[in-house]
Amino acid sequence: MRLESVCTGKTRHLDIRGQSVKTAFLKSAVSGPVQVTLDGLQGNEVAVHTDALYAISLQHYQHWAERLDVDVVDWAPGFFAENLRIDGLDETALNVGDVLSVGDEVRLSVSGPRVPCFKLCWQLDQPDTFIREFALSGKSGVYFNVECPGIIKAGDEIKIESKATGTVGLLELSEYVFEKRTIDENILCHILELPGLSETSALLLRNKLYQILDQQRTSGDRWQGWREFNVDHVVEETDEIKSFFLTPTDAKLLAPFRAGQFITVQLPIKNIESAIRVWSLSDY
């Protein structure tokens, strides 16, 4: 692999689809040696993403130009908001934690696949639905952490120095993030514990984990039909309002509830065949 170009950008406000957006999306190539720090390229600014470096393959330019029926010469280096444009980069062969060298000094570790947003669609003049196609293509690019700072320049050789084990591939990770693959709590916890995982991917995966845990919490201990309860005690809140504290006779757990929800109660009132009332729940 070879470093074809190095690109930086400054934070600015752009009019994107009628809204003022603070972004450092627009980037352009710089010439000569560039200092790489632990935070990324010297002279490069970020507005939202916390990833140190974003790289894309030179070959991906041609792929997307053909896919979108665009002349690739119209896309200068930095068009995809990348910091590094690399000749021969194959992200489908990379895993989170793999280490690459750039030139003689710099070492980078793979943190995750690019998770595109609406700004990419704006740049490519595509609807937001294009995000999914781009992310699942295996041609979206790579986020890197900086393990060893130093100087890089266009023309530097890039090598894979070590392959991580017990990790996840970038395309597989994209498929989890964009729900092309089924994911469960165990897989999510494993991925979220990977050292150096991109916070961009981690944020979305944590949301998925919370959804799974919430679903487990709210679906557990439900029941259908009538269930018998005893009135444990009664508190007279006002002259007209009483709180009834109920306990299930089967001693099993109750599903989680929130104040303001309602339950339907069938009361054993003498000489009344079916005294049904709707009571509100409280958290007093």
On whether both 160 and 181 belong to a single domain, the answer is yes
In a domain, 221, yes or no: no
CA distance 62 to 209: 37
Per-residue pLDDT tens over the stretch 128-156 = 999 999 999 999 999 999 999 999 999 99
pTM of the full structure:
0.78
Q: Provide the CATH number for the domain around residue 33.
A: 2.40.33.20
Amino acid identity of 194? L
Across the chain, mean pLDDT equals 93
- The residue-averaged pLDDT of 67-92 equals 97
On whether both 233 and 212 belong to a single domain, the answer is no
Estimate the share of the chain in helix, then strand, then coil, as percent rounded to the nearest 5.
25, 30, 45
Q: Are 75 and 124 in contact (CB under 8 A)?
A: no
| Total domain count, the chain | 2
On whether both 32 and 76 belong to a single domain, the answer is yes
On whether both 23 and 150 belong to a single domain, the answer is yes
Which pLDDT score is estimated for 202?
96
Which pLDDT score is estimated for 284?
62
Q: Tokens standing for 40?
A: 């990324």
* Helices within 43-160 (DSSP H only): 58-67, 118-124, 130-135
Question: Is the per-residue pLDDT at 51 higher than 90?
Answer: yes
On whether both 52 and 135 belong to a single domain, the answer is yes
Question: Is the per-residue pLDDT at 218 higher than 80?
Answer: no
More confident residue, 76 or 284: 76
Question: Is the per-residue pLDDT at 97 higher than 90?
Answer: yes
In a domain, 193, yes or no: yes
Least confident range of 58-62, 146-150, 227-231, 258-262: 258-262
In a domain, 224, yes or no: no
On whether both 81 and 108 belong to a single domain, the answer is yes
Determine how many CB atoms are found less than 10 A away from the CB of residue 207.
11
On whether both 54 and 173 belong to a single domain, the answer is yes
Strands 99-102 and 84-87: unpaired
In a domain, 223, yes or no: no
Question: Is the per-residue pLDDT at 256 higher than 80?
Answer: no
Instruction: List Cα–Cα distances, 32 to 7, 87, 153, 169, in angstroms.
Output: 11, 18, 6, 33
Question: Is the per-residue pLDDT at 196 higher than 80?
Answer: yes
Last residue of a domain, one of 194, 216, 238: 216
On whether both 27 and 168 belong to a single domain, the answer is yes
On whether both 239 and 262 belong to a single domain, the answer is yes
Question: Is the per-residue pLDDT at 96 higher than 80?
Answer: yes
Which pLDDT score is estimated for 217?
73
Tell me the residue range of the domain where 161 lies: 2-216
In a domain, 60, yes or no: yes
